Structure 1
Amino acid sequence: MQVRYFKEYSANLDRDMEFKMYGHAGVLCLVIPCQDGRFFEWEDRKMFDLVSGLVDAGRIQFVTVDSVDAETWSSYGPTEPRMHRLEAWNRYVMDELIPSALWKAGKPQDEQMMVMGASMGAYHAVNLFCRYPHRFSRLLALSGLYDMSRYVYDGNYTHEFHINNPLAYLEEL
């Protein structure tokens, strides 16, 4: 299986972000780690070994991303700065990581992708899938939490919080 490591500066997050790509052809799938996870989590847990036949056959390829959960959902700070950081991560994924991964995969910039995750990664996958339907055509979300209201610790239910709380905004779509 072809595995490539990248470290690129993110203007949205104002720091270097690491990611890996697995495979050489096929549908591109964004993999989001579990809560507070890192881009190498799925590899460390041998998840890609289970689908290596599909990867080697060129049916699917993966791009793994770092989360900022420690600064957002896992932080007990005020809501507003945590949601600003989450929105910066969303912009990083949509405006920086995905275009870079599509280019590295030799795919057109408008090609739709799959997104997947487990636990908090499932939440992120659902949130991205629902907010950006033009980008994602497939979703696999395993054991996620989709009502994020328990994460408002200061009573400040901001607009940015609302647009990152799928069970709140889905009825508006």
Structure 2
Amino acid sequence: MHRAYHKWFSPVLNREMELLVFGERGLPVIFFPTRSAHFYDLENWKVVDAMQQKISAGEIQVYCVDSVDQESFYSNASADRKIVRHMQYESYILNEVVPLVKRQNKHRSLAAAGCSLGGYHAVNIALKHPNIFNKVVGMSARYDLTKSLEFFADLFNGYFDENIYYNMPNHFVPRITDKKLLNQLGKMDITMVVGREDSFLPDNEKLSYSLNQIGVGHQFHVWEEEAHKPRYWREMVKLYL
């Protein structure tokens, strides 16, 4: 399995960023890491190994990107600065990583995927940019970071603004009315997977309901148990990517 390492100074983030690429052709997948994890963790957790057959066969090419969660959602910054840093991260993905993918891979489609907070990153960016992404797979993800759960805090401590609204799928998706955007979303291959005992199940159910209400087809799979660990994600990527 071909493996390549990339590192460059990101102007938008004002710091060096790293990523790993597995494979040389096929559907390119930008794979986001879990909360505060890094570009190499999916390889260390054998999630990449679980995709090896598809990668080696040229079905998919996987771009494992790094995160800046410790500088955004999980930083000590004020809530308004947290979301701004997150938006800078998305700008890095759209304006630096996506062009790299396009230079290396001439496939007409592009996918986003992620587990846990990485699933949030994938689904959030894909639903906002269906002109760029054609497929998204969110595994064990949370789609409203403003809501307190039993073991998970409101990451903005009650603060809410327009930037936060447009980065929380469970807030902006139910209110999508633009016909062009709805048409683009309707063509996207959307998959959400979560465990029956996962704290994020209600978030997934709400997003699935909202997508149905606006007429956007998708797949929604509920696994037994919590299913919020690498050993489950290794099985999920085989089925849904």
Q: Name the SS for the 1:112 alignment partner.
A: coil
Task: Identify the residue that residue 122 of structure 2 maps to in structure 1.
Answer: 125
Task: Identify the residue that residue 58 of structure 2 maps to in structure 1.
Answer: 58
Q: Which amino acid aligns with 2:139?
A: L
Q: How many pairs are equivalent?
A: 169
Task: Identify the residue that residue 79 of structure 1 maps to in structure 2.
Answer: 79
Task: Identify the residue that residue 3 of structure 1 maps to in structure 2.
Answer: 3
Runs of 4+ aligned structure 1 residues displaced above 6 Å come to none
Please, which runs of 5 or more residues in structure 1 have no aligned partner? none
The TM-score normalised by the length of structure 1 is 0.93
Task: Identify the residue that residue 23 of structure 2 maps to in structure 1.
Answer: 23
The TM-score normalised by the length of structure 2 is 0.68
1:166 partnered with 2:152: no
Task: Identify the residue that residue 113 of structure 1 maps to in structure 2.
Answer: 110
Post-superposition Cα deviations, 1:73-117, rounded to whole Å, max 9, x if no partner, equal: 112431111111001000000011111122123x26xx3311111
Q: Which has the higher contact order (CA 8 A, sep 6+)?
A: 1
Aligned equivalents of 2:163, 2:67: Cα separation in 1: 18
1:96 partnered with 2:96: yes
CA RMSD of aligned residues (A): 1.2
Q: Which amino acid aligns with 2:64?
A: T
| Equivalent of residue 135 in structure 1, options 132, 138, 143 | 132
Q: Which amino acid aligns with 1:46?
A: K
User: Could you tell me the percent identity over the aligned residues?
Assistant: 28
Task: Identify the residue that residue 145 of structure 2 maps to in structure 1.
Answer: 148
1:20/1:63 contact within 8 Å kept: yes
Please, which runs of 5 or more residues in structure 2 have no aligned partner? 147-153, 177-241
Q: Which amino acid aligns with 1:146?
A: Y
